[in-house]
């Protein structure tokens, strides 16, 4: 099944309306506590395992989408009219192509992102989730968020988790065509939780997450163990969220991040997203925890570190990491 057939199935029986001038949406970025790493179907971004994330509140993408007045697609990112040669333009238009109502229909997409693009901070997750939300609004599809997560996923896998605030569980499913692969909100709140972003380097990375995960799946021997790790970490994280057991959340989340990077290091070519500053920051987190501070780290496809900590330890964490940008995922 290709993307077009998949979309036709999701949108089967859905009425398209063209009476809205413009659609406005917002999607928060998210960070995975247990990671999505490896696709069982590349065009459909069907993952090998489940993953669990927490959304980043005000760090995300605000999008406005309308029909273009010019006979070409217009893509504006952070107030800049993006050139057709730009990677961001290409990815956005390739995605919009999937939903173009006719050959002579062109889109005007205007996105403002509060996360640095391409730095392993899930800028594509909130970007594609906000576009999926805007399409739903513009054409009045009235799709439930769970169904929209299937469409957002086609832009970027982790985008399927960016349609909600709070904790989100993305189910890998078993169906070969991804009928049972979707994300959904975990009905649980943890108001004391904070997420701090430690930006060490915001430049574009050498390997995109898709390239890196495909190399890993193809060549890492360690990767054979990855599904087993995910079964354990997903169950542990769900339980920790349910019990509000911070230390258990820390243990399973760190295990997921460390194991993911281990599979990458083990691949051919070996992929190492970390910088010296990444390792130093991780050591500081471990030291803080030894000193009794409730904090843990996670790292995605980039050198930056995300710190998860509880309100009570805000001062100790910001004393050691004065430059973090902290958000409260359960502030609303
Ligand atoms: O959604 P993608 O294709 O950018 O992949 C995201 C991969 C990680 O950020 C490393 C892990 C995750 O689950 O978000």
pLDDT digits (tens, 9 = 90+) for 272-289: 999 999 999 999 999 999
Mean pLDDT, residues 49-53 taken together? 98
More confident residue, 76 or 115: 76
Q: Is 155 in the pocket of ligand 1 (CB under 6 A)?
A: no
pLDDT at residue number 121: 65
Distance of CA 23 to the CA centre of its chain: 22
Ligand 1 atom index nearest CA of 45 = 3
pLDDT at 301 over 80: yes
Quote the ligand 1 centre to 32 CA distance (angstroms): 8
Q: Is 51 in the pocket of ligand 1 (CB under 6 A)?
A: yes
Q: What average pLDDT does the structure give for the chain?
A: 95
Quote the ligand 1 centre to 9 CA distance (angstroms): 25
Query: Strands 295-299 and 107-113: what pairing?
Result: unpaired
Q: Is 209 in the pocket of ligand 1 (CB under 6 A)?
A: yes
pLDDT at residue number 104: 95
Q: Is 35 in the pocket of ligand 1 (CB under 6 A)?
A: yes
Q: How many CB atoms are closer than 10 A to CB 71?
A: 8
Mean pLDDT, residues 144-173 taken together? 98
What is the biggest distance separating any 2 CA atoms in the chain, rounded to whole angstroms?
63
Q: How many CB atoms are closer than 10 A to CB 281?
A: 23
Q: Is 145 in the pocket of ligand 1 (CB under 6 A)?
A: no
Quote the ligand 1 centre to 122 CA distance (angstroms): 7
Q: Is 178 in the pocket of ligand 1 (CB under 6 A)?
A: no
Q: Is 274 in the pocket of ligand 1 (CB under 6 A)?
A: no
pLDDT band at 120 (very low <50, low <70, confident <90, very high): low
Which residue among 172, 264, 301 is best mutated to probe the pocket of ligand 1, counting the most ligand atoms within 8 A of its Cβ?
Answer: 301
Buried b (16+ CB within 10 A) or exposed e, 3-12: beebeeebbe
CA-closest residue to ligand 1 atom 9: 300
Quote the ligand 1 centre to 105 CA distance (angstroms): 31
Mean pLDDT, residues 168-180 taken together? 96
224 Cβ contact list (under 8 Å, min separation 6): none
pLDDT at 40 over 70: yes
Ligand 1 atom index nearest CA of 120 = 9
User: How many Å apart are CA 61 and CA 272, to the nearest integer?
Assistant: 28
Ligand 1 atom index nearest CA of 260 = 10
First to last CA, the chain: 39
Q: In percent, how much of the chain has pLDDT > 90?
A: 92
pLDDT at 203 over 80: no
Quote the ligand 1 centre to 157 CA distance (angstroms): 7
Is 86 in contact with 239 (CB distance < 8 Å)? no
pLDDT at 59 over 60: yes
Is 180 in contact with 43 (CB distance < 8 Å)? no
User: How many Å apart are CA 2 and CA 222, to the nearest integer?
Assistant: 30
User: How many Å apart are CA 224 and CA 66, to the nearest integer?
Assistant: 45
Name the pTM for this structure: 0.96
pLDDT digits (tens, 9 = 90+) for 244-269: 999 999 999 999 999 999 999 999 99
Query: Strands 74-77 and 107-113: what pairing?
Result: parallel
pLDDT digits (tens, 9 = 90+) for 82-96: 999 998 899 999 999
pLDDT band at 205 (very low <50, low <70, confident <90, very high): confident
């Amino acid at each position: 099944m290709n993307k077009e057939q998949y979309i036709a199935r999701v949108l089967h029986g859905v009425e398209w309306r063209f009476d809205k001038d413009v659609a406005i949406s917002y999607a928060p970025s998210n960070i995975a506590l247990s990671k999505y790493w490896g696709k069982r179907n590349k065009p459909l971004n069907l993952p090998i395992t489940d993953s669990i994330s927490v959304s980043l509140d005000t760090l995300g993408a605000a999008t406005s989408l309308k029909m273009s007045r010019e006979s070409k697609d217009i893509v504006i990112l952070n107030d800049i009219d993006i050139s057709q040669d730009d990677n961001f333009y290409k990815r956005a238009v390739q995605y919009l192509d999937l939903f173009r109502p006719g050959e002579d229909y062109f889109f005007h997409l205007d996105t403002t992102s509060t996360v640095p693009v391409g730095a392993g901070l899930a800028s594509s997750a909130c970007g594609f989730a906000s576009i999926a939300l805007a399409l739903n609004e513009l054409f009045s599809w009235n799709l439930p968020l769970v169904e929209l997560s299937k469409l957002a996923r086609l832009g970027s896998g982790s985008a399927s988790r960016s349609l909600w605030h709070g904790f989100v569980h993305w189910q890998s499913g078993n169906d070969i065509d991804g009928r049972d692969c979707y994300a959904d909100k975990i009905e649980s709140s943890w108001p004391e939780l904070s997420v701090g972003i430690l930006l060490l380097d915001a430049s574009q990375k050498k390997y995109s997450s898709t390239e890196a995960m495909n190399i890993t799946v193809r060549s890492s021997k360690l990767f054979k163990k990855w599904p087993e790790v995910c079964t354990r970490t997903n169950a542990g994280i769900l339980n920790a969220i349910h019990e509000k057991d911070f230390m258990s959340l820390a243990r399973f989340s760190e295990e997921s991040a460390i194991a993911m990077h281990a599979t990458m290091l083990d691949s051919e070519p070996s992929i190492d997203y970390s910088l010296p500053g990444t390792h130093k920051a991780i050591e500081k987190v471990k030291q803080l925890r030894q000193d009794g501070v409730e904090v843990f780290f996670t790292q995605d496809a980039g050198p930056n570190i995300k710190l998860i900590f509880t309100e009570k330890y805000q001062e100790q964490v910001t004393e050691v990491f004065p430059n973090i940008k902290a958000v409260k995922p359960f502030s609303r």
